[in-house]
A and B are shown apart, each in its own frame.
Chain A
Amino acid sequence: MTRAAVLSRAAFGLALACVPALAGAQDDARIARGEYIAHAGGCITCHTAKDEGAAFLAGGRALESPFGTFYSPNITPDPETGIGGWSDDEFVRAFQDGISPDGDAYFPAFPYTSYTGVSREDLLDLKAYLTSIEPVRQANREHDLPPFMGSRTAAGVWRSRYFKPLRFHPDPDRDEAWNRGAYLVRHLGHCGECHTPRARLGALDAERELAGNPDGPGGEKMPNITPHRADGIGRWSVSDIEYFLDIGMEPDGDFAGGSMAPVIEDNTSHLTKEDRRAIAVYLKSLPALPDDE
């Protein structure tokens, strides 16, 4: 064997040896991106119970709504009580179409109405992350709903009446920051699920995007975050909003309480400064709407 052939074989062998390592590095990168999506998507806040020592992402957190109390499910990779057995397509369909692997519609307490615009790539990164965490065997708690709501049929009827799947397409007339902000606010971060008022039967009132919701989750009044000067956050600069999403401080030195506190803790404070800024740029671009009288 010539020297060149030996070298060539050695190089080939080295390349082969590197394949698993390379795949491992790609998996790690995907998991890291997925962890970021889990923060940006607010998964942690809803899917981890509030009790001290509650298992991470194993569900059980109560979400009170005018329609009853929902309990978030286990999204750890446990094959029986979690999402361990889900295929990529089933996972994507849950978010983009609001349909569970069993073929049932979700109640919109799972905000697929916003998540529908999240890209398949982001969702599969998220799935890679969720698959990488510690599986927890913990059965899901039944929702506490009135009889007329108590079946998946009701969820299916709601979905067929009020839900339209859509993908997010960047607006070519806007810059990159605005488009990133729109994606985060409208879809992944699902800000409107709390800050946009709901019309009949809980569908979001698109005409009043982010103009405040007098009857938010848990009966809490959610503030108007449009740039209206008196009723919204019109006096806040992009920097003010960015800083608020980082540490929870309002421009006047007060601190966010209520249900925004865990959002800052689990979600927005983990984002890059660029992403927080993109959210601010998008919010500043919205029509300034007064509170509804």
Chain B
Amino acid sequence: MLRRPLCFIAAALACGTTFSALAETTAEDAYSYRESVMTSLRGHIGAASAIVRGLVSDDGFLLDHAQGLATGVAEIHRLFPAGSAVEDSEALPVIWEKPEEFDAAILRAEEATEAFRKAVADGAGSEAIGAAFRDVGMSCRNCHDNFRMEK
């Protein structure tokens, strides 16, 4: 029982005022929330991939998944408050050590998901949508390669 509060206190001490904006949010809360958003992104990209590759028919749902990706990715910048690298977290310290590199990687993902959403919304051809989706995938992989622990 003691571990979580201690962990939070240690994290809060380590990061000074970072949590002040999230007064009631513990490190575990931040981590769980991040995992939830990332899981939703995984669901959207997995579903979008099946439609983009023609394995499942679109029926208008690709736009929902594209929108879900764009919305979720637009939130990534607030998912990594300092000190939220709790024990199970796969987030690498480099996220907080080199914030400008992390921000650039997030920006790339934001631009890619927005371009994909727009391509689907505009009814672009399957080739253009496929290329835009590939960019989304590459931007995800870029972050996961550089900022997530090797499993």
Q: Which residues of A contact B (CB under 8 A)?
A: 220, 237, 239, 243, 246-249, 251-259, 261, 264-265
A253 to B41 CA separation, bound complex (whole angstroms): 8
CA distance A246 to B49 in the complex (A): 13
Can you give 8 A-B contacts (C-beta < 8 A)?
A243-B49, A247-B134, A252-B42, A253-B41, A253-B45, A255-B141, A261-B141, A261-B145
Chain B residues near A254 (CB-CB < 8 A): 42
CB neighbours of B117 from chain A (8 A): none
Contact at B41–A239, with CB atoms within 8 Å?
no
* B144:A257 contact, CB within 8 angstroms: yes
Report B's interface with A, CB cutoff 8 A. Answer: 41-47, 49, 53, 55, 134, 137-138, 140-141, 144-145, 148-151
Instruction: Kindly state the separation between the CA atoms of A247 and B142 in the bound complex, as whole angstroms.
Output: 10
Please tell me if the beta carbons of A246 and B46 are within 8 angstroms of each other in the complex. no
* Cα–Cα distance between A265 and B53 once the two chains are bound (Å): 21
A249 touches B145 (CB 8 A): no
Chain B positions within 8 Å of A265 at CB level: 145
Secondary structure of the B contact surface, majority rule = helix
Contact of B137 among A239, A249, A257, A259 (CB under 8 A): A249
Q: In the complex, what's the smallest C-beta–C-beta distance from A258 to chain B, in angstroms?
A: 4
Which residues of B sit under 8 angstroms from A259, Cβ to Cβ?
150
**For residue B42, which residues in chain A have a CB less than 8 angstroms away from its CB?**
252-254
Q: Please name all residues of chain A whose beta carbon is closer than 8 Å to the beta carbon of B141 when the two chains form the complex.
A: 247-249, 255-256, 261, 264
| Least distance between B73 CB and chain A CB atoms (Å) | 13
Q: In the complex, A252 Cα to B90 Cα: how many Å?
A: 18
Whether A253 lies near B148 (C-beta < 8 A) is no
Tell me if B140 and A249 are in contact (CB < 8 A). yes
User: In angstroms, how far is the closest chain A Cβ from the Cβ of B54?
Assistant: 8
Complex CA gap A248/B138 in Å reads: 8
The 10 closest A-B pairs by CB, nearest first: A253-B46, A253-B42, A247-B137, A253-B45, A255-B144, A258-B150, A248-B141, A261-B145, A255-B141, A249-B137
User: Is the pair B46, A239 in contact by a Cβ cutoff of 8 Å?
Assistant: no
CB contact between B140 and one of A237, A246, A252, A255 (< 8 Å): that residue: A255
Q: Which residue in A239, A255, A256 is a CB contact (below 8 Å) of B55?
A: A239
A239 to B51, CA, bound (A): 12
Least CB distance from A64 to B in Å reads 14
**B144 and A246: CB pair below 8 A?**
no
B139 nearest CB neighbor, chain A only: A247
The residue in chain A whose Cβ has the minimal distance to the Cβ of B144 is A255
Which one of B49, B140, B149 has the highest number of Cβ atoms from chain A below 10 Å of its Cβ?
A: B49
Of the listed residues A220, A243, A265, the one surrounded by the most CB atoms of chain B closer than 10 A to its CB is A243
Given contacts A247-B134, A249-B45, A257-B145, 4 further A-B contacts (CB under 8 A): A239-B53, A243-B49, A253-B49, A254-B42
Distance, CA A265 to CA B150, complexed state (A): 16
Residue from A243, A255, A259 having most chain B Cβ neighbours under 10 A: A255
